[in-house]
Amino acid sequence: MPNLPIKYPMVNSSMNSSHLLSVVEVCSRKMDWLHNHYIHLYLGANMDVMDLEFLSPEQSLGHFPYLNLKEIRLGPERVAVKQILDCLAEKEYVEVSLDEFYIEGKHYFNKVHFERNFMIYGYDDLSHTFSIAGSDYDKIFEFHELPADQIISSLRAHAFERRSIRSVRLNEADKMHFEPTTLIASLADYYYSRQPETMVTCPGTDGGSCWGMKVYGALLDYLDRLARNEIFYCVRPFHLLWEHKKCMVNRLGYLSQCGYNLSDFIMKGYEDIYETTLILRNILVKYHLEPDLNLLRIAARTVESIDVQERALLSALLKEFSTVTSKIEEKENSR
């Protein structure tokens, strides 16, 4: 059975949507709508790991652009595998939640029960392996082969009457556009560290969680706990923070192309933050290779610096973009 087409996603560190984006990337449609998303950050309630995440389009819209998602109840073990194969035969991808405790090579293999979502996009009849894609614990996004028996082991660990998969089909007819008002609202929610009022599905962030700019304080707490060996090491949140700034730089470039002229202070400022967050990420990678508490101290000072700089930039951006948007709307209405 040939593999379905799939591409490396623009945002590759998000465990809740990078696998979905890897399918959307196949779509020929323009991706302008992405600039309305991957703005807001939240920290999950699991205090044993640094569960930093983007608010996904599915959580904010109730659906994922350019994808038709259909929930399918799983039957018994072998039937469940056939259900997955039937979807692939219909040229439908399969989103499945698997327990890494049963998957060789994964961070939590034979250690801790930890589920995450993967996208199945192919099957090899000779080797009895599935082709899957998804964000890993700290390896970010990966494509790899998974033996069918490991999927069965993961599924067997749960009551099948409560288990389901989602078939995923590209919807080329979908039309999503960039919306300035949505961008302003999302930037404001991020700046003021508040949960969006328009959110359709809640990511379950109760119990010590936080939103938006407050995640910088959470990152400082994480570095402190890491220095005291009270939490697992994970570079993914720092990679995700870097990707967040990469999205912001791309977004500002897109706005400039669309005629939203912003000051050099904002454009240059976010380019500087983008470079600084990459340095921060690399400091954490170096710490993993050569544990040194001085590296964590440098990382903490860097987080504090980014926090201060981005607060000033966001304040200016919200004012400037609102003003520029109003002028453009007035000009269009006067025609």
In order along its 335 residues, the chain shows pLDDT tens digits of: 789 999 999 899 998 899 999 999 998 777 899 999 999 999 876 656 678 899 999 988 889 999 999 999 887 777 888 999 999 999 999 999 888 888 887 777 888 777 888 999 999 999 999 999 998 777 679 898 999 888 888 877 665 445 788 999 999 888 889 999 999 999 999 999 998 887 766 555 444 478 999 999 999 999 999 999 998 898 999 999 999 999 999 999 999 999 998 999 999 999 999 999 999 999 999 999 999 999 999 999 999 999 999 999 999 999 999 888 876 666 666 65
In a domain, 27, yes or no: yes
Check residue 334 and report its DSSP letter.
T
Predicted structure pTM score: 0.90
Instruction: Examine the domain organization and report whether 22 and 134 are in the same domain.
Output: yes
Supply angle C-alpha 311, 316, 321, rounded to 5.
Answer: 125
- How many angstroms separate the CA atoms of 248 and 243, rounded? 9
Query: Tokens in use for 223?
Result: 């570095």
Say yes or no: 163 and 123 in one domain: yes
Determine contact, residues 55/40, Cβ cutoff 8 Å: yes
> How many angstroms separate the CA atoms of 23 and 200, rounded?
22
Q: Using CA atoms, how far apart are residues 219 and 93, in angstroms rounded to an integer? A: 35
Same-domain check for residues 200 and 81: no
| Domain identity same for 231 and 114 | no
Q: CA–CA separation, 146 vs 255, rounded Å?
A: 41
Residue 102 CA to residue 151 CA, distance in Å, equals 8
How far is residue 167's CA from residue 225's CA, in Å, rounded to a whole number?
40
Task: Please choose, from the candidates 202, 211, 233, the residue with its C-alpha nearest in 3D space to the C-alpha of residue 48.
Answer: 233
Judge whether 10 lies within some domain.
Answer: no
Same structural domain, 162 and 218:
no
* Domain shared by 81 and 222, yes or no: no
Domain total of the chain: 2
202 & 89 share domain: no
Question: Order of strands across the sheet with 129-135?
Answer: 67-73, 164-170, 93-99, 115-124, 129-135, 141-147
288: nearest Cα among 240, 226, 220? 226
Task: Fill in the amino acid letter for 75.
Answer: G
Q: Is residue 191 part of a domain?
A: no
Of 153, 170, 187, the residue at which a domain comes to its end is 170
Residue 317 inside a domain? The answer is yes
Q: Which residue range is the domain that position 64 belongs to?
A: 18-170
- For residue 156, is it within any domain? yes
In a domain, 308, yes or no: yes
Does 165 share its domain with 22? yes
What pLDDT is recorded for position 202? 59
